[in-house]
Structure 1
């Protein structure tokens, strides 16, 4: 996600929601995770500044901060968690702040149009806005009809949800996933990360926004499902390079993003999804995590069998053989004992071309039974 250029980037983390019974979202809960990400990662630049606004109370103060960061020459990333409402008089979209109530909306909330206006001073392609927003019924309908237009040249990714009735506030899980992936060391593109976060966040009443720099004169941002697999080079070399360089967390996170996208596009049991499951299994082997690798290879074998691939299919046999090999590398007797029964079940279905493989598993399980468990 590195953006070339000499100017440092700026990230504005804005989390706001009423502190009264009008609260729909636990907006501030996203800040610790985002704040723990290195500033340069938030903006994709060599250097960056972070401005944080947690439950601000005054719309003019928020406007002043937005105006200040909008004046910065480098890339600007706005992360906004909160809730949207429509005022009853002018029927404009507002971002609620800490003191906002239905009666005081026009005076205590930030008009969305203010945000859009301030961003128009910036050069096209230098501004990215990522949102995780809850909506009241009127705002939900408005977003469905018009989107959340921020003007030409502004990239917009995000989620808007309609909370299901009264009760617990919605968690900003969409933006929390961004922070989780970045803190894990992965650096996927925004399109990939958006698709992964959308899949992880779920929510039955959700719409997703994906607008990547509209041309000048374009209309409002469309409300749509996450974009499909981005058109880019084969990701495998980058993933393997990270693994061989010892950046195992980054490699695993990148593969997980691609697996999630394959599941969303083709289905959980698709060959495309199984492929990425197998990639993750091999990455665990490279990371010297035999237990995890064994689990993933067994899951891959089970997924192939569920697709009615035959027990002597080359890919099925290979998955079981690799699970068996990784299980044999385990030196943790308790972990090996816990994985043994599932491996025996697979070996009974898939004998493989290695003679006596099932008996070898059973013999080792018997030997493991004689090893005292920790704590006994």
Structure 2
């Protein structure tokens, strides 16, 4: 099966630039696509100093939807936004005061890659951090999705008025150009040894990221995201205790699920086989179990509600998907989460997107006021989202 390669190099224009990210692209581009991907054939997409985060999101989402192996090479610099202190990949127009709107939120990598099957995604990073982000990294992990294997390094800020070189990624490219395609672990170690021999020390080294039980976050983006690939393989997370489910459930999952195998894999299998009702029923069992164990508004229960919202989308039931995403957003707001929290914004963005896919005008018209009210509370990152709902609702009312 052909592989897919995404080459992304980004850094701000002007005095805010910490690394000459784009300088690595000619070296990477000289490597045959099949060698970059580690497959017999491959398609390569290159993004050099992109201007808009939505443009990057579109390319990443398309790459994540590819059925074969995916390798993502990212070179650039990290900065924190001033409101939420979340890391962003700085783009060409990014400045310290505009990171939230002009940078690419790092959690978008995690959310776009989270639904890919385990063992199919490799991310290779060569990043430089500013001083604030370097401090943030001491207490936080830089995740790229629960099933993605991550290799590379994050370097501390270079000296004042110094623009660093992406030496790790250039070493990776040089090794690949020399012939052959070593295993990614060996490639990573050889590249680290090469730059260490050149005197580079003090970097944060990134190795494979295991599938750990982490809270789920829905996919961010605007109100016109592309449909994600219908795969729900993921880490086993937020499941009830080993040995059985809580008493009082009207339906008990099959023994294989009770004893600890990943329910996400079983759901994925059902979706790919077209058994959408079975997939939803299984997710509903785990949602009820999580609600009994942790509470209806817990992250554990909300994760399974998000899975069911995605399952409704995969089944073509945009109305049910929209309602479920709206319910998730409302639950998070009721629990005290901020309107600009990534999980809240993403739930409303997805509800908005699915509302636009409802074919029945009467049903869309009935949901419109609730979505408009939610958009008033959660405007999201994309300008004009509330206006879009209101305009569409007016058109639907004229059709009644």
Q: What is the TM-score when the length of structure 1 is the normalising length?
A: 0.55
Are residue 106 (structure 1) and residue 100 (structure 2) matched? yes
* Equivalent residue number for residue 217 of structure 1: 213
Q: Secondary structure of 1:69's partner?
A: helix
Q: Secondary structure of 2:109's partner?
A: helix
Are residue 182 (structure 1) and residue 181 (structure 2) matched? no
* Equivalent residue number for residue 35 of structure 1: 29
Ranges in structure 2 where 5+ consecutive residues have no aligned partner: 217-400
* Equivalent residue number for residue 148 of structure 1: 142
Cα distance, 1:104 vs. partner? 1.0
Cα distance, 1:167 vs. partner? 2.4
Task: Please say if residues 14 and 79 of structure 1, whose CA atoms lie closer than 8 Å, have aligned partners that are also in contact.
Answer: yes
Deviation per residue, 1:232-251 (Å, 9 max, x gap): xxxxxxxxxxxxxxxxxxxx
Counting matched residue pairs gives: 213
Greater Cα radius of gyration, structure 1 or 2 = 1
Task: Please say if residues 134 and 161 of structure 1, whose CA atoms lie closer than 8 Å, have aligned partners that are also in contact.
Answer: yes
Give the whole-Å Cα distance in 1 for the aligned partners of 2:214 and 2:107. 17
Task: Please say if residues 164 and 205 of structure 1, whose CA atoms lie closer than 8 Å, have aligned partners that are also in contact.
Answer: no
Are residue 204 (structure 1) and residue 201 (structure 2) matched? yes
Q: Secondary structure of 2:75's partner?
A: strand
Q: Secondary structure of 1:146's partner?
A: coil
Deviation per residue, 1:15-60 (Å, 9 max, x gap): 0000111000000011001101110111111110000000000000
Task: Please say if residues 127 and 155 of structure 2, whose CA atoms lie closer than 8 Å, have aligned partners that are also in contact.
Answer: yes
Q: Which runs of 4+ in 1 moved over 6 A?
A: none
Q: Secondary structure of 2:138's partner?
A: helix
Q: What is the TM-score when the length of structure 2 is the normalising length?
A: 0.52
* Equivalent residue number for residue 44 of structure 1: 38
Give the whole-Å Cα distance in 2 for the aligned partners of 1:114 and 1:183. 30
Ranges in structure 1 where 5+ consecutive residues have no aligned partner: 1-6, 221-376
Cα distance, 1:168 vs. partner? 2.2
C-alpha change, 1:106 and 1:215, in structure 2 (3 Å) is: closer
Cα distance, 1:216 vs. partner? 5.1
Aligned residue runs from structure 1 range 90-169, under 5 A: 90-169=84-163
CA RMSD in angstroms comes to: 1.6
